[in-house]
Amino acid sequence: MPARTLLTAQARRSLEAFVARQLTYEQRIALINKWKNPPGASEQLRLERAERMVKQAVLRHEPFQGLDITVASKGSYPNNTNVRGDSDVDIMVKLNDPIHTEGLAAWWFGQPARYAGPWTRQKLRQEVEDALTNHFGWVDTDHNLAVYVPEVVGSRPSIDVVPCFKWVAYDTTVPGGEYVGSVVYGRNGKRVINWPELQLANGRTKNTNTKYRYKFVVRVLKNVENDLASEGVIKALPSYFSECLIYNVPDNVLLLDGSLDAVVRESLREVYQQLTGAWFSYLRMVEPNGIKKVFGEGQKWTEKDARELIERAWYYLNYES
C-alpha cells in the first residue's frame, strides 16, 4: 500500500492539517461503524417523497398518456449505497418506444434510424420540462442532461430528472440476446448510455454474495471522499466513482475473516494494487453494470483521481503501510 512519502508536499500539508488530531484506532472504528449505515428513516422518507412526486408529475401529464414510459430512480438511492446527509435523487423518465440502438440493428429494426414519429429527443425533453414545471413550479432547465428540481428543506431533497430513451445493445451470447439500458441526449448534442437496471441487479448480487459487506465498504469510501473533498485534500468526485472502485474488489477480499475495519483496509489495498499493477490492469476495471469500463473516454474521472483518493483515504484512516 502507498507509503506517506508518495504524497506531494502540498497534498501532505493539506492532509496533515486535516488529520492533525490523527485518528486513533478507536476513533476510526467508531467512524466506520457510523459510515457503513444508509440514511436514517426520516431522510429515507424524503427520498421516497421526491420519487413519488416526479412519478405523479409525469404520469399526470396529458401528452404522456397511453405511452410505454418508465419513471424510476437510479443511482445510489435505489442501489442503497447512498450516505447520510449526501442523498439527492436521480430519476429517469424513459420512453420505451421507439427504442434506440446503433449499427446494423438500427437499420434492421428501423429505430431510430428510420423513425418518423413525433417523439424526437427535443420533444421528449420539452414535455418532461413542462410536466415538472406544471407540478413543481419553477425548475432549472439549463443543465446539459438533467432537469433540476430544487430542494425543499425538510420536505424533499433536490432531484435530477433525466429524459431518456430505451437503449438496446444486441448480443447473441447473453440470455435474451440483448442488454437493455437507457440513452440520454445532452443539450450539447452528445449522448450518454447508461445501464441502471444492470447496475441494480449486479450490485444486489455482489452484496448478497459478500454478506452485505460490499455496500458497507462503498458507503465508507463515499464518506471518506466527502470528508477529503470538503477540506480541499482532493477534488470532489461523483459518489458513483467510489461504488465503481469497490465493485472491482473480489468477493473473497470482502469476505475476509475479521472486522469490517480489516475489510475496508484490504479493499483499499486491493483497489490500489489494481490501479498501480503491471500491464495497465486498471483498464480492465468495470462499472457495476458490468459493461462500461471505469476508465476511458467520456468518464468524469481519471486513474490519477482514483490513486489520489485511495492514497489519501489510506492516510486519513491511519492504516499502516
**pLDDT, tens digit, 9 for 90 and up, residues 216-241:** 999 999 999 998 998 888 899 998 99
Instruction: Report whether the peptide linkage leading into residue 98 is cis, meaning its omega lies within 30 degrees of zero.
Output: yes
pLDDT > 70: what percent of the chain?
88
Q: What is the pLDDT of residue 5?
A: 46
The rounded distance, in Å, linking the Cα atoms of 8 and 242 is 23
Q: What is the DSSP string of 21-40?
A: T---HHHHHHHHHHHTS---
Look at strands 89-100 and 159-170 and give their pairing: parallel
Mean pLDDT of 105-125: 78
pLDDT grade for 84, boundaries at 50, 70 and 90: confident
Cell of 160: 435530477
pLDDT grade for 160, boundaries at 50, 70 and 90: very high
The rounded distance, in Å, linking the Cα atoms of 89 and 106 is 32
Q: Is the pLDDT of residue 261 over 90?
A: yes
Yes or no: say if 180 and 197 are a contact pair by the CB < 8 Å rule: yes
**pTM of this prediction?**
0.88
